[in-house]
Amino acid sequence: MAENLNQPFEESAMNKEEKRKLNREQRIQVIAFAFMIGITILAFLAVGAEGIPTIFTTPFILLLALVQLIIQLYYFMHLKDKDHGWPSSFMISGLVLAAPMIVALIMLLGVVKY
């Protein structure tokens, strides 16, 4: 068996359909990663620009963060896959429960400036 290790594989264990899906998935993840880098650069530019008012910058950065969170959950945590129904439902129910609690805590603490 060890004498066969120096010989190249003639064919992969994956068929052409699996290779095509894997290449498509890699391409989508690279595009999503590049989009997220662009969002991060946009956030840094919004903070660094002196002409943009603060009242616009904070909600804009929060919106960019929300978009980036959705992209990360959807593409990198594989919530878009068909066999991830239960994890998707748990993530969505967690977001539905956590968002009002965070808003309520912010309002109770009186941190709201807007």
Left, alpha or beta for 78 (phi > 0: left; psi -120 to 50: alpha)? Answer: left
Chain segment 27-37, per-residue pLDDT in tens:
999 999 999 99
> Cβ distance 79 to 71 under 8 Å?
no
Label residue 41 exposed, middle or buried (CB < 10 Å: 0-12, 13-18, 19+): exposed
Chain segment 64-95, per-residue pLDDT in tens:
999 998 888 888 887 777 888 888 888 889 98
Which token pair is 65?
Answer: 């963060």
